[in-house]
Amino acid sequence: MCARALGGATLAMEKRVGVAASASAVGKKEGEGPLKRSFDHICADARFGERSWERAESALLKKCFALACDKAGLSPGGLDYILSGDLLNQCAGSAYALRESGAPYLGLYGACSTMAEALGLAAILIDGGAGEKVAALTSSHFCSAERQFRYPLEYGALRTPTSQRTVTGAGALILALDGPPPYLTRVTTGRIVDLGVTDAADMGAAMAPAACDTLERHFAATGRGADYYDAVITGDLGIRGSALLRELLGLDGIGLGSRHCDCGALIYDAGRQGARSGGSGCGCSASVLAGYVLDNMRSGAWRRVLFAATGALMSPTTSQQGESIPGICHAVALEMEAE
Amino acid sequence: MCARALGGATLAMEKRVGVAASASAVGKKEGEGPLKRSFDHICADARFGERSWERAESALLKKCFALACDKAGLSPGGLDYILSGDLLNQCAGSAYALRESGAPYLGLYGACSTMAEALGLAAILIDGGAGEKVAALTSSHFCSAERQFRYPLEYGALRTPTSQRTVTGAGALILALDGPPPYLTRVTTGRIVDLGVTDAADMGAAMAPAACDTLERHFAATGRGADYYDAVITGDLGIRGSALLRELLGLDGIGLGSRHCDCGALIYDAGRQGARSGGSGCGCSASVLAGYVLDNMRSGAWRRVLFAATGALMSPTTSQQGESIPGICHAVALEMEAE
């Protein structure tokens, strides 16, 4: 009873890998956006009571993780594995948030694709018999990301129209063998795709080709058309990156139509909230998945969802050195009915 | 036919997960050290022909990966997964080294424990049926690490006696279902342990408690005493951290005796080469494993080895903010005979 390889780096789970619990926690701005009702916790204080933005991000992730554990009725030590990572240098947000958990810890780096990478690996671990309860979580914070990737907030730097706003948010799912639906039924692992985009203020363009690659491989390997899913949800391509993805898929004759939505385009009212091309950051797709997407599945609005989180694998140093931006996209299928 | 959980976050592989190929590549200083005969490639040019230290690190890892693929007779696209990560911010060393590989990529962050984390996950993926050929690799570079974690080289900063020198090196293993020995037979996943050490120039002390935790859990879960193994090889505790580990284990009545060695203590002649407490960095344990350790196994000198790589999960930012240093240690057992 192990994963069945379908080709195209796509696996079919053979066990029932359910979602025991999910939780999301976000900052004030996200809590004023269109998805405000879907988040478990909205914190008006961007510092989360801490003395630095980095500590604030860890506090946010820790809060989100505690909420998920509470909902699952588990102590952190009851988890077989925790899979986490974030955008901070050396993934410090996750390490400090989880250092007291006492659970086996596997650190990941998938940039903004981390939630899908963690979920895919968590499902594979459970399906392969390595564990029965595995947490997948990640976070990002506007203020820690701005000063690390762009400019100190105090500079008041202007943002280009293609830029995305890093979401202050965290999402956590606890997957469990024979847990309640939705079930994680398919996992497609991403490949690095770099078509030469060098503008670090246009991440959507850098990541769209990777999303296209992963979605196409997923559809081909599973034999499922896009219309198999009620929703195909990309990570954080934002408004511009989403348009590019649809264009790229269209060149290959694939139309997602109205079933495509993007976490980065959903989380803010971009015009009213000044978010330019939308949201980004590990916490963007993680908090939207843990909140809005799972709400829609549990309510019956969606029965089959393909969640494809995207990441840009550059660093400020590589950008300063003139490198282009490699993108990646990992995808997992969530379904209310197991096969 | 899936992994059998032994408790203590330890899994017994039920399939034969062998090592199809291994490769190591290092810099000039490592190539002048005691292990010089064990490395596949020694480069006299620390820049590896590139214009920046970060690009040099990617070139080093890329070279090592190509060597491993060649030895395995595989093209990178023939791999089911690549698992990699490194110390550079946003793990850029790995992303840029592997962006043209075309293989499914899972980015990891385990600091200097990355090689063991990658090997453990690779073995689990193969054992669980998710793939048949999986690469685990990582790198570090003295010059890119110094300027990122400590001071620009041009400052000529003095080093404390407890400090370790980041190894310029990379190691890559390609694991394969039913591949040749040694087999990866046991995987013990680390927990984050932080006993409050704040001195970023004393990583050995910060990581030793995590190594102690993982080794004790491994011995308890497997029912194997330390004397089951011909060698227990820690990642990069260095000379001082190794002494602390032996002291901690001794408090719990566990003696490793002469079967303990440490990659950080092995790679340099610390006195002659001015390496203070020894080597560190992801590439330290990776290059020593891919070279010296596997040489000793294939020659018959060692038949059973426990490889326990250690990592310090702090960042320069968290250190500047006065945080203590969380440590982690992942362990994998390598054995010439499968059960």
Looking at residue A52, the DSSP 8-state letter turns out to be S
**What integer pLDDT is reported at residue B13 of this predicted model?**
97
> Structure tokens of B297?
């196994």
Contact call for B109 and A104, based on CB within 8 A: no
Total CB pairs under 8 A between chain A and B: 191
CA A131 to chain B, closest CA, distance in angstroms equals 7
Residue of B nearest to A189 (CA): B104
Every domain of chain A and the residues it spans: 4-177, 183-335
Contact call for A192 and B98, based on CB within 8 A: yes
**What integer pLDDT is reported at residue B2 of this predicted model?**
60
Residue A155 makes CB contacts below 8 A (sequence gap 6+) with none
For residue B186, count CB atoms less than 10 angstroms from its CB and return exposed for 0-12, middle for 13-18, buried for 19 or more: buried
Per-residue pLDDT for B156 more than 90? no
- Give whole-number Cα distances, B278 to A128, A156, B161, B274, in Å: 38, 45, 10, 9
Which of B79, B87, B109, B112 to probe by mutation at the A interface, max A CB count within 10 Å? B109
Mean pLDDT of B216-222: 98
CA B108 to chain A, closest CA, distance in angstroms equals 4
Per-residue pLDDT for B310 more than 50? yes
Residue type, A12: A
Pick the residue with more confidence: B271 or B222? B222
Residue of A nearest to B11 (CA): A130
Closest CA to B234 of B258, B213, B208: B208
SS3 at position B81: strand
Residue of B nearest to A325 (CA): B96
Residue of B nearest to A316 (CA): B89
SS3 at position B156: coil
| Interatomic CA distance for residues B287 and B263, integer angstroms | 9
Mean pLDDT of A259-267: 97
For residue A2, count CB atoms less than 10 angstroms from its CB and return exposed for 0-12, middle for 13-18, buried for 19 or more: buried
Question: Do the Cβ atoms of B158 and B86 come closer than 8 Å?
Answer: no
Closest CA to A270 of A297, A237, A299: A237
Residue B295 makes CB contacts below 8 A (sequence gap 6+) with B38
- Same CATH fold assignment for domains A4-177 and A183-335: yes
**What integer pLDDT is reported at residue B226 of this predicted model?**
94
Residue written as token pair 């490889």: B307
Contact call for B326 and A108, based on CB within 8 A: no
B1 pLDDT tier (thresholds 50, 70, 90): very low
**What integer pLDDT is reported at residue A151 of this predicted model?**
87
CA A147 to chain B, closest CA, distance in angstroms equals 12
pLDDT tens figures, A49-107: 999 999 999 999 999 999 999 999 999 999 999 999 999 999 999 999 999 999 999 99
| Interatomic CA distance for residues B242 and A131, integer angstroms | 31
Greatest alpha-carbon span in chain A = 56
Which CATH superfamily groups domain A4-177? Stage V sporulation protein AD (3.40.47.40)
| Interatomic CA distance for residues B223 and A66, integer angstroms | 33
pLDDT tens figures, A212-255: 999 999 999 999 999 999 999 999 999 999 999 999 999 999 99
Question: Do the Cβ atoms of B186 and B333 come closer than 8 Å?
Answer: yes
Residue written as token pair 């730097």: A157
What are all long-range contacts of A13-16, with beta carbons under 8 Å and residues at least 24 apart? A13/A123, A13/A124, A13/A127, A13/A183, A13/A184, A13/A185, A13/A186, A13/A187, A14/A127, A15/A126, A15/A127, A15/A177, A15/A178, A16/A177, A16/A178, A16/A179, A16/A183, A16/A338
A1 pLDDT tier (thresholds 50, 70, 90): very low
Closest partner residue to A1 (CB to CB) among B2, B81, B96 is B2
A187 phi and psi angles, rounded to 5 deg: -130, 125
A334 pLDDT tier (thresholds 50, 70, 90): very high
Where b means 16+ CB within 10 Å and e means fewer, A317-330 reads bbbebebbbbbbbb
**What integer pLDDT is reported at residue A59 of this predicted model?**
98
Q: How far is CA A46 from the centre of its chain?
A: 21
Contact call for B109 and A85, based on CB within 8 A: yes
SS3 at position A284: helix
Average pLDDT, whole number, for chain A? 96
Closest partner residue to B5 (CB to CB) among A117, A127, A130 is A130
**What integer pLDDT is reported at residue B151 of this predicted model?**
86
Ranges of H-type helices in B128-200: 142-149
B198 pLDDT tier (thresholds 50, 70, 90): very high
Topology of domain A183-335 in CATH is Peroxisomal Thiolase; Chain A, domain 1 (3.40.47)
| Interatomic CA distance for residues B254 and B247, integer angstroms | 9
Question: Do the Cβ atoms of B278 and B238 come closer than 8 Å?
Answer: yes
CA A31 to chain B, closest CA, distance in angstroms equals 28
What H or E segment, with its residue span, contains residue B55? helix B53-72
Closest CA to B221 of B306, B110, B289, B118: B306
Query: Across the beta sheet with B4-7, what order do the strands follow?
Result: B4-7, B10-12, B183-188, B327-335, B304-312, B231-234, B260-262
Closest partner residue to A128 (CB to CB) among B91, B130, B194 is B130
What H or E segment, with its residue span, contains residue B232? strand B231-234
Percent of chain B at pLDDT > 90 equals 92
Ranges of H-type helices in B202-255: 203-222, 238-251
Closest CA to A285 of A79, A162, A116: A116
**What integer pLDDT is reported at residue B88 of this predicted model?**
97
| Interatomic CA distance for residues A236 and A136, integer angstroms | 18
| Interatomic CA distance for residues B248 and B229, integer angstroms | 19
Whether CATH 3.40.190.10 fits B15-177: no
**Total Cβ atoms within 10 A of residue B104:** 25
Residues in chain B closer than 8 A to A107 (CB atoms): 85, 108-111, 117, 313, 328
Residue A170 makes CB contacts below 8 A (sequence gap 6+) with A24, A25, A26, A60, A61, A63, A64, A65, A137, A138, A139, A140, A283, A286, A287
Which of B106, B114, B146, B282 to probe by mutation at the A interface, max A CB count within 10 Å? B106
Residue type, A230: D
SS3 at position A134: strand
| Interatomic CA distance for residues B7 and A119, integer angstroms | 22
SS3 at position B280: strand
CA A87 to chain B, closest CA, distance in angstroms equals 7
Residue B247 makes CB contacts below 8 A (sequence gap 6+) with none
Residue ranges of E strands in B245-312: 260-262, 279-280, 304-312
CA B269 to chain A, closest CA, distance in angstroms equals 29
Contact call for B2 and A128, based on CB within 8 A: yes
Residue of B nearest to A55 (CA): B318
> Structure tokens of A61?
């992730």
CA B257 to chain A, closest CA, distance in angstroms equals 27
Per-residue pLDDT for B128 more than 50? yes
Question: Do the Cβ atoms of B285 and B261 come closer than 8 Å?
Answer: no
Q: What share of chain B is helix, strand, coil (3-state, %, to 5)?
A: 40, 25, 35
Residues in chain A closer than 8 A to B121 (CB atoms): 106, 121
pLDDT tens figures, B14-54: 999 999 999 999 999 999 999 999 999 999 999 999 999 99
Residue of A nearest to B132 (CA): A5
Residues in chain B closer than 8 A to A106 (CB atoms): 108, 110, 117, 121, 189
| Interatomic CA distance for residues B275 and B159, integer angstroms | 9
Closest CA to B3 of A132, A185, A134: A132
Closest partner residue to A117 (CB to CB) among B2, B106, B317 is B106
Closest partner residue to B128 (CB to CB) among A3, A92, A107 is A3
| Interatomic CA distance for residues B273 and B300, integer angstroms | 30
| Interatomic CA distance for residues B331 and B126, integer angstroms | 17
